[in-house]
Amino acid sequence: MAATSGSTHRGSLERVGSALVGWLQVASKYLATPLCSPAALDRLLALGVHLPGDCQGVLEVHLGEGGGAVDLSVRIEKPGQARRMAEQPLPRQLRDFLIRWSEAEGPFSAIPCVWLEFDLDRPVAGLPIPSVCTRLPRGSDQDWIVESLLPALYGERLSAARTGLVRRCHGEIPEEGILLYVFGLLSRPENPVRMEIYGLDPAGALAYLNRVAPQSVPSLAEIAPLFEGIERPHLSFDIGREILPRVGLEGSFARQREPRWTELLARLVTHGLCTPEEKDAILAWPGYDTFWTAAADWPLEQAGMRGFCVRNLSHVKVVAQPGRAPEAKVYLPVSYVTGANSPARRSVLST
């Protein structure tokens, strides 16, 4: 889906709808155990009531024995979505940031999209405090990141020490890498900053970390082989008072259905990071529903009959830190789209 400049992005298929819960309900039949426990599904649906239905939601599924936990992120890509979320009881600085992002001439209008990430490790009562993730415009200036963006996300300037760490980590990114996302982890203890770098292959990520956070190299070295041959690699790490020892490596493939997904998930199974049942459920996830395949759950009132509730496979992430076993997660988007009104199109994807 092509992106356009500025803060409004629109693809050939358009997302509409009033509350995400309707689409989560349609997708829920594919979310049974082993991917999602009944309690986790209850939390997803309770949260989905508060989130715009024209936003893409992404399920963050925790894998492995004892899995079944699922968190939820929502992508804000249009000014109207940001303004609606800003009416919700979010932290003040986050509401202010969303409003400023939605302003066409504002200081953040070049940010293509903003993610709100909700941890669902406890029952949902109202809207939990999310972490916020901003996708950076290409070529973002370091001063703008540390002097404008991060203070807006946190509602205050970061300490000089933390600012210095962000600058150093940014400055050390090699030419083949891009700082793609900056997070304010507002829902985590000490609210660290997360930096997510795109484009470093496992060897490049190890070399980079060796320069900025050598203490994290053994953890990354442990998980890097899982991602050999991956497309679109991402490296992430968090900055609190110091660079924290937890590192994440993620990757994906451009096509939804191709054998390398199976190979990647099989490697996770071999290393005990994913069960065979989870692997099979993940590979069965991509597809879509229409009113005709999900009539009983279809949110007719909000969407009418048209459109598709699409389930995608986004990426796999493995996090590692000293003294703890690595953890794998898979990210499964759910979107409602319309605009593909060609009855002549027929595919085998119908579920």
Partner 1 sequence: MSEELKSFLQGLRTKPELLEELRSLLGDVDAAIRWACERGCHLTPEDIAEIRGSDEELSEDELDKVAGGDTAWPPPPAPPTGDP
User: Which of 351, 332, 320 is CA-nearest to residue 206?
Assistant: 320
Q: Which member of 6, 306, 322, 324 binds partner 1 (CB under 8 A)?
A: 306
DSSP 3-state percent helix, strand, coil across the chain (nearest 5): 35, 25, 40
Closest approach of partner 1 to the CB of residue 189, in Å: 26
| Closer Cβ to partner 1, 184 or 287, answer by number | 287
- The tokens of 349 are what? 């994807």
Give the span between the Cα atoms of 257 and 313, in whole angstroms.
9
Q: Three-state SS for 287? A: strand
**Three-class SS state of 54:** coil
Query: Taking CB under 8 A as the rule, which mask of x and - marks residues 167-186 in contact with partner 1?
Result: --------xx-x-x------
Provide the residue type at 317 as one letter. Answer: K
The answer to whether 68 touches 37, Cβ cutoff 8 Å, is yes
User: Any idea which residue has 């939804």 for tokens?
Assistant: 256
Judged by CB under 8 A, does residue 113 bind partner 1?
A: yes
Nearer to partner 1, 122 or 345 (CB): 345
Residue 343 interacting with partner 1 (CB under 8 A): yes
Work out whether 18 is an interface residue with partner 1 (CB under 8 A): no
In terms of CB distance, is 122 or 346 closer to partner 1?
Answer: 346
Task: Tell how strand 287-289 and strand 114-118 pair up.
Answer: unpaired
Q: Is residue 199 close enough to count as binding partner 1 by CB under 8 A? A: yes
Residue 259 binds partner 1, judged by CB under 8 A: no
- List, in order, residues 6 or more apart from 225 with CB less than 8 Å away: 202
Q: Binding to partner 1 (CB under 8 A): which residues in 31-70?
A: 56, 58
Which residues are at the interface with partner 1 (CB under 8 A)? 1-3, 9, 11-13, 56, 58, 75, 112-113, 135, 138, 175-176, 178, 180, 198-199, 232, 252, 254-257, 286-288, 290-292, 295-296, 298, 300-301, 304-308, 310, 312-315, 331-333, 335, 337, 340-343, 345-347, 349-350
